[in-house]
Structures are given as structure tokens and as C-alpha cells.
Structure 1
Amino acid sequence: MSSDKIAIIDFWAPWCGPCKAISPVFETLANQLSEESVDFYKLDIENPSVDLSEHNIGSIPNFRAYKQGVQIGNVVGARPQLLSEEVQRVVAISKA
């Protein structure tokens, strides 16, 4: 997360219905923007190596955007339109 590329992270869990519902939207955005200077990641919060306190995750799905280790965007919940708009906004930042 400390590189010049923007990292967009989907914090999710296998048991989370809203996470499953919005996953195809996240994957579509990742495929559409694969040529941009943005990397997309999925982090299963059930993975013992994921430290949620480090990211202050209170609920899922939770999408965070980081540039050079600094959070520059956030969407909480399965909100496809808002997620798409936020991803477009942070992609524009990467081009600035």
C-alpha cells in the first residue's frame, strides 16, 4: 500500500451475503481498470493474518482506497453505484 499505485481493497468474509452480492461489481471494476495505475485486492477478514484494528474496519463489505499508505477513499456496504463512483474518483486522482 505504500507504492505510487492506488490500492483498492475489498474487506469481506465468506459468510457475508452483502459481500457476495457486490463482489461481481468489484471484480468488473477491477477488470475494466486493469490498465490504470490501480491495483485491486480482496482481503478475507476471517484470515488470521489480517489485522482489522490496523484498518479500523467496523463493518463489511468495506472498500478502502490507499495511495502511498494513506487512505484516500472509503465505501461501506453493498452500494454498487457509490462504489463505482468512488473508484472512478480515486482513479482520477492517480492520473493527476
Structure 2
Amino acid sequence: MTAATRARTPFRLLLAGFCTVVQVLLLGLTAYLIVRVVTYGVFWDADADQSGTWGGPTLLGAWLVHALIGLPGAAVSAWLANRLGRAAARLRLPPT
């Protein structure tokens, strides 16, 4: 067994696996929310009272408000997923 193989402890590999699982769950949730928001207009009930919804009584206003909230959220989740992926890759490498 080489020194590099011994340096990759089971704890580091387990932590790398945990980072990967969290990354996949985060990206899955983000993808679900993006698809949900994009297809929400298909199920919009124009006859119902929309006065209490985010963005007001129009579909355009609701989409605008959701986009203003969702775009920064998607950017933050992509950044966080990138950080988790880099951390997992560093944990899988032997320490220098």
C-alpha cells in the first residue's frame, strides 16, 4: 500500500460522498423548482381570485416577481453546487 492510498482515509471519502449527495440533491431541487415555475402558467386559473398572489392579479406580474426571486436563487444554488463539487474533489485527492 502506498502512502497516497493510506492518506485517503475512509472518513475523507465518506465526507466527499456526503458532499456529492448534497450537491445532487441541491441541483435536483433547483431543477424541479425551475421546471415547476416555467410550467405553472399552464395550470393558471384565470377565473380564480388572484389578488393575494405574489405579483398581483396578472400572470405577467406573478411571473416577473417569481423570476426576480428565482434567478438569484438559481445562481446561488449553482455556486453552492460548484463549491460542493470542488470540496468533494479535494477530499478524494491524497493530501500533499
Both proteins in one fold, TM over 0.5: no
With the length of structure 2 as denominator, give the TM-score of the two structures. Answer: 0.27
- Structure number, greater radius of gyration: 2
Higher helix share: 2
Higher strand share: 1
